[in-house]
Amino acid sequence: MSWIVLVISGLFEAVWATALGRSEGLHRLTPTIVFVVGLIVSMGGLAYAMRDLPTGTAYAIWVGIGATVTVAYGMLTGAESANVLKILCIVVIVAGVIGLKLVS
C-alpha cells in the first residue's frame, strides 16, 4: 500500500509544482488553492509512505515521479520546449525510479 500511496503523492507533487508556477507568486486564487491542496496531499502521502519505506528511497522516488511528470506535462502543453536530449534525461530519471523500486 505504501508504494501506491508514494506514486500518487509523487503525482500530486507535479500538481502542486505546476499550480505554483501558474499562481504568479501566489497572487492568483485558483492556482494558489490547487497548490496548497496538492502540497498537503503530496506531503501527507510521502509521510505515510515513509512509515514503511526507507526515507532516501521514498524521497528519491517521490521527487523523480514529480519532476518527470511536471516536465512531461510542460512539454505536452507547450510550456516547455521538447528535444531529444531532454526526453533522454527524463528516461534516465524514470529508469532510476524503477531501479530504486526493484532494489528495495
pLDDT in tens, 49-79: 999 999 999 999 999 999 999 999 999 999 9
Per-residue pLDDT reduced to its tens digit, 19-38? 999 999 999 999 999 999 99
The domain segmentation of the chain, as residue ranges, is 2-103
pLDDT at 104 (0 to 100): 80
pTM of the entire predicted model = 0.90
Cα–Cα distance for residue pair 61/96, rounded to 1 Å: 8
Distances (CA, A) of 75 to 7, 82, 99: 21, 6, 25
pLDDT at 41: 98
pLDDT for position 87: 95
